[in-house]
Amino acid sequence: MAEETLKTTETPKVEEAMEVVSDLEAEKVSVEEETDKKNGSGDEAEKEIASSVSFKEESNKVSDLQDPEKKALDELKQLIQAALINHEFTSPPKPKEEAKPIKEEEAKPIKEEEVKPTLTDEKSNPESKTIEEGEEEKSEHSVETHEEEEKAKPTEEAAAVVCETVVVDEDGAKTVEAIEETIVAVQATTESVAETVTPAEEKKEEAGSVEPETTQPPEEVFIWGIPLIGDEKSDVILLKFLRARDFKVKDAFTMIKNTVKWRKEFGIDTLLDEDLGLSDDLEKVVFMNGFDKEGHPVCYNVYGEFQSKELYSKMFSSEEKRQKFLQWRIQFLEKSIRKLDFGPAGGVSTIVQINDLKNSPGPGKWELRQATNQALNLLQDNYPEFVAKQVFINVPWWYLAFYRMISPFLTQRTKSKFVFAGPSKSPETLFKYISPEQVPVQYGGLNKEGDKEFSSTDLVEEIIVKPTTKQTIEFPITENCVVVWEVRVVGWEVSYCAEFVPDDEAGYTIIVQKTSKISSSDEPVICNNFKVGEPGKIVLTIENSSSKKKKVLYRSKTKPYSD
């Protein structure tokens, strides 16, 4: 599932790389073990990958955009406005039908036997004559008839003349005459109806023919609860799509239309309120916790949880289960996005992703790989520019090998968001972007669930203890109170002790906590019930006997105390 976060349009190549890496899984060892064996070569690999240019999030204020970017945004808004008017997001316009060519059968001249059933039976007209006997008489009679019709209805002249010129042969004379009369009659009827329609009514009919298109209001389309047009937050949404497509307007517009279509097909609006029944199982797999130093919410993805055969089977053992897991993951992301601030003036509209790869199932797990490939495609196609930083911690060697193979297929913008850290460097790396009071305790921070003494608003301080030295931390006490503090070391092991030293020289120093060893894997050392009845100070002593410098985190507070 770790490769879900790697955005690339070269999915087949990524899958090929994953197959190569899976062949190496049998030789997998931890980064720390490799570091010990090769004298730090693992750390050098991490530094090499992390040395790429760091991504810097752009401003969403229109005034801060460059001129080409402003122009692209305006053009995209125009395209969307036109699409909303034409209802292209819900019912795309049908392509214009081309004029159908006349079939060969339709172009053939009318045969006499085909027309005869509609003609007056010659026998029913005793005055009719054969063509041989009365051809000249018929012509004179036809001319006289046309002269009379011309006086009564001049507009029928064209139809009559045309019909007269259609005479081809002797056999067709009778047929042509009957057709001529029919055409004239229809023409007369049509013109008589037309004479009753006034010019004003003609205009009204013309207007009525297009009324459904012109009077129907534009459709409204929302993404993440924000309309595509008309809200101050709309520009922030559009800029995400533009940046994902390098400000190519048509590509961004196509991406938006595809995203809207996918959201309807996937049923995002109904999915938000649906109970998929997986939250209890996955609450330790994916969870939000705290904010980074720039105010971005932080999402933790703990892939090692899938080492549980029971959980793995429940999520990925069938296509139906994989689809349900995918729905849950999309639902979780949607709910997280709805909490973001898309305000153009300093609003936070991206998330920091922390990906814990400790004990993560390797690339040989094809069910997991299939699910993550699906998620990858959906995320990169429908959730553009929602990641501010991708931090990978507890990274095993095989993942670094995998990254090297797919790196050529990633854009520089994507790679600039990536940060990698092995197990020994993970806490320190997290602290570069997230304050220790915001980092969960299992990742080296001081944020504990259900902590009754401290909260994420109680700031943490830090000191550096140089090799083979001691460092002291003092908390002055001026009144009767209860003192609470906690201490944690970042990296390896140090010695720690605590004592109370009164201001009165005649007083006695009190040992609060005896000297003991603490390491980064230990829970924070905390004292929450030391009562002080006189002025003095709490003194913490940290001794580093190793050859490497150590970082120590600490914080304290006092609570009222009375005898």
| Beta strand ranges found along 394-535 (DSSP E) | 418-420, 461-465, 469-477, 481-490, 493-502, 510-519, 525-532
Distance CA 360, CA 399 (A): 10
Distance CA 407, CA 413 (A): 12
285: CATH: 3.40.525.10
Q: What H or E segment, with its residue span, contains residue 397?
A: helix 397-406
- Residue 281 and residue 257 in one domain: no
Closest CA to 34 of 442, 429, 546, 424: 424
> Does some domain include residue 190?
no
238: CATH: 1.10.8
- Residue 331 and residue 457 in one domain: no
- Residue 315 and residue 462 in one domain: no
- Residue 469 and residue 516 in one domain: yes
Closest CA to 512 of 493, 488, 532: 532
- Domain total in the chain: 3
- Residue 227 and residue 289 in one domain: no
Distance CA 226, CA 429 (A): 35
Inter-CA distances, 153 with 24, 78, 160, 188, 198, Å = 96, 54, 11, 8, 20
- What confidence tens digit (pLDDT) does each residue in 442-461 have? 999 999 988 888 988 899 99
Residue 38 CB contacts under 8 Å (≥ 6 apart), including other chains? none
Percent of the residues in the chain that have a pLDDT greater than 90, as a whole number: 46
3-state SS record for 505-529: CCCCCEEEEEEEEEECCCCCEEEEE
**Most confident segment among 39-43, 339-343, 366-370:** 339-343
> Which of residues 409, 434, 459 is at a domain's end?
434
- Residue 538 and residue 500 in one domain: yes
pLDDT confidence of 438, banded at 50, 70, 90?
Answer: very high
Q: Mean of the pLDDT values across residues 402-422?
A: 84
- What confidence tens digit (pLDDT) does each residue in 285-309 have? 999 999 999 999 999 999 999 989 9
- Residue 278 and residue 249 in one domain: no
- Residue 321 and residue 261 in one domain: no
Kindly write down the DSSP assignment for every residue of 276-319, as one continuous string.
-S-HHHHTTTEEEEEE-TTS-EEEEEEGGGGG-HHHHHHHHSSH
The pLDDT mean for the chain works out to: 76
> Does some domain include residue 22?
no
CA–centroid distance for 81 within its chain:
21
CA–centroid distance for 469 within its chain:
51
- What confidence tens digit (pLDDT) does each residue in 3-37 have? 444 443 344 444 444 444 444 443 443 334 443 44
> Does some domain include residue 365?
yes
- What confidence tens digit (pLDDT) does each residue in 251-279 have? 999 999 999 999 999 999 999 999 999 99
Q: Are residues 357 and 395 in contact, defined by beta-carbon separation less than 8 angstroms?
A: yes
Q: Are residues 422 and 35 in contact, defined by beta-carbon separation less than 8 angstroms?
A: yes
Distance CA 423, CA 433 (A): 17
Closest CA to 527 of 462, 478, 475: 475
Q: Mean of the pLDDT values across residues 137-147?
A: 48
pLDDT confidence of 79, banded at 50, 70, 90?
Answer: very high
Percent of the residues in the chain that have a pLDDT greater than 70, as a whole number: 67
Output the pLDDT for position 237: 96
- Tally the residues of the chain: 563
- What confidence tens digit (pLDDT) does each residue in 503-520 have? 998 889 999 999 999 988
Residue 453 CB contacts under 8 Å (≥ 6 apart), including other chains? 484, 486, 526, 528, 557
Lowest mean pLDDT among 141-150, 277-286, 462-471, 490-499: 141-150
- Residue 463 and residue 383 in one domain: no
> Does some domain include residue 170?
no
Output phi, psi for 178, to 5 deg: -70, -40
Q: What H or E segment, with its residue span, contains residue 327?
A: helix 319-338
Output the pLDDT for position 114: 46
pLDDT confidence of 398, banded at 50, 70, 90?
Answer: confident
20 vs 531, more confident: 531
> Which of residues 434, 467, 488 is at a domain's end?
434
Closest CA to 20 of 403, 439, 466: 403
Distance CA 417, CA 5 (A): 11
> Does some domain include residue 496?
yes
Task: Dig out the tokens for 232 from the structure.
Answer: 């101050």
> Does some domain include residue 414?
yes
Flag whether pLDDT at 216 surpasses 90: no
552: CATH: 2.60.120.680
> Does some domain include residue 481?
yes
> Which of residues 250, 266, 282 is at a domain's end?
266
- Residue 371 and residue 281 in one domain: yes
Order of strands, sheet of 481-490, starting from the edge strand that comes earlier in the sequence: 461-465, 550-560, 481-490, 525-532
- Residue 495 and residue 545 in one domain: yes
- Residue 400 and residue 314 in one domain: yes
Query: Can you give the residue range of the structural domain that contains 80?
Result: 59-88+217-266
> Does some domain include residue 191?
no
Closest CA to 220 of 382, 344, 341, 83: 83
pLDDT confidence of 46, banded at 50, 70, 90?
Answer: low
Lookup result for tokens 């019912």: 91
- What confidence tens digit (pLDDT) does each residue in 153-191 have? 444 443 334 444 444 444 444 444 443 444 344 444 444
- What confidence tens digit (pLDDT) does each residue in 309-337 have? 999 999 998 989 999 999 999 999 999 99
CA–centroid distance for 76 within its chain:
18
Q: Are residues 387 and 350 in contact, defined by beta-carbon separation less than 8 angstroms?
A: yes
